[in-house]
Structure 1
Amino acid sequence: MITGAALWPLVSALSARAAQRYRSPVVRLLPVVVYVLFLLAVGLSRVFVLAHFPHQVLGGIVAGIALGWGLQACPPPARSLRFYGATALGLLLGALGLHRAMGAAGIDIDWSIRLATSWCSNPSWLRLDTRPFASVCRDAGSAMGLGLALRPSRSLSGGVQDLPPPHMRVLGALLALGVLEGLQWVPEPGSEPLWYGVACLKHAAGPWLVAVALPRLLRALGGPPRPPPR
């Protein structure tokens, strides 16, 4: 789903560019064909490693395409912390409310977890980060982190168009990779509610650290930035 949503704007842009430059319908459809084949390959790999069932893969592909198309047609506010905060809260409360409602209706949506628990020879293989609610926590935390990262900052608003030197940009990219990798090594608590809370906070911290904290650090280390070339 994430792959389909993230690649859809790129595919639509390539298709539009191909339609402007070439008359052949094959060339114009080539980005879409590659996009569909790539999603099918990703879906088959998820089924092969027993991460998802086939109906989950098909649902994820359709949902990803719809999400990418919808966000491209109606992009969210760029700097609205209220929007991203409401999205994060809506994801968490919506998932919990749906789980409770399905349970009250007599539908056990945790049947796959119970089946895996009863048949798995090693309980440590049943990791919490493979459960559906872990994905919800990741998405909710990322939405909150994006809202914090995109919030206007007085210290950065004056030089948002300034370009740092190339070596500082390379250093920033390496530091960003190191920070994101370091977040994956944060100790995970044994309690299930605390684990979900830490997972949400880790993914909220990632965008803010990369988009706000690291640029401030690089500006402090590199001195005043250079104006962009005209």
Structure 2
Amino acid sequence: MIVAEIFSRVQWIYGACLKKYFYITLFLLTFALGFYLPLKALGVDLLWTLEKAKKWCVHAEWVHMHTTPFASLLRNMGTLFGLGLGLHSPLYTESKRSTSAPFRFGCIITSLLLLQLLDYLTSSENETWFYLLSFCKSAAAPLITTSLVPGPLSHLFGGKRGKKLV
């Protein structure tokens, strides 16, 4: 929560270079692993919150591994990293020029379809694979919406505008 509060008040995050996105993600990952790995090595059950939550929650079926603090941190790091990659992609730069309504509508529909497919990726019961997949899915979502969809669609819609009808 402290990290989210700090970054919500900082305006440079919107104009940061890709190197800053990478270093912030690396710092947060190192910091998180600095707590996670020693505790895991000492035999501390890092999923103890799941047991407590399932015991006391009225709807125990709503409690999953993705509700743990470490999973949340990895999702946020993935989102930050994916946003940095997307905003610094040449595809994003090209797509900023396209402003037509069909282009925007195409981006919305295509992004929603791809994000729905991404959401269907199953998570693993293995902690390591689950956390890795969580990071990757969270990095892919902003990357899809900022550059992987708008970039090719801007070529598609931009290519039609450049041709003259005889």
TM beyond 0.5: yes
What is aligned with 2:155? 220
TM-score (norm 1): 0.56
The partner residue of 2:136 within 201, 221, 229 is: 201
Structure 2 counterpart of 1:130, one-letter code: T
What is aligned with 2:119? 184
1:115-194 equivalence runs, <5 A: 115-116=52-53, 125-153=62-90, 157=93, 159=94, 161-194=96-129
The partner residue of 2:28 within 91, 96, 101 is: 91
Bigger CA radius of gyration: 1
Q: What is the CA–CA distance in structure 2 between the aligned matches of 1:185 and 1:108, rounded to whole Å?
A: 28
The partner residue of 1:68 within 8, 15, 31 is: 8
Structure 2 unaligned spans of 5+: 162-166
Q: Which runs of 4+ in 1 moved over 6 A?
A: 101-104, 119-123
Indicate conservation of the 8 Å contact 1:143/1:204, yes or no: yes
How far the C-alpha of 1:171 sits from its partner, in A, is: 1.8
Q: What is the CA–CA distance in structure 1 between the aligned matches of 2:125 and 2:47, rounded to whole Å?
A: 20
Deviates more, 1:176-185 or 1:217-226: 217-226
How far the C-alpha of 1:170 sits from its partner, in A, is: 1.2
Q: CA 1:219–1:67 in 2, change beyond 3 Å: closer, same or farther? A: closer
How many correspondences in the alignment? 160
Deviates more, 1:196-205 or 1:210-219: 210-219
TM-score (norm 2): 0.74
Structure 2 counterpart of 1:214, one-letter code: V
- Per-residue displacement from partner, 1:104-153 (whole Å, max 9, x unpaired)? 9xx98765334335667998654111111110110111111012112242
Structure 2 counterpart of 1:166, one-letter code: A
Indicate conservation of the 8 Å contact 1:81/1:147, yes or no: yes
Q: Which SS does the other structure have where 1:141 is aligned?
A: helix
Indicate conservation of the 8 Å contact 1:79/1:150, yes or no: no
Q: What is the CA–CA distance in structure 2 between the aligned matches of 1:110 and 1:156, rounded to whole Å?
A: 39
Indicate conservation of the 8 Å contact 1:141/1:201, yes or no: yes
Structure 1 counterpart of 2:34, one-letter code: G
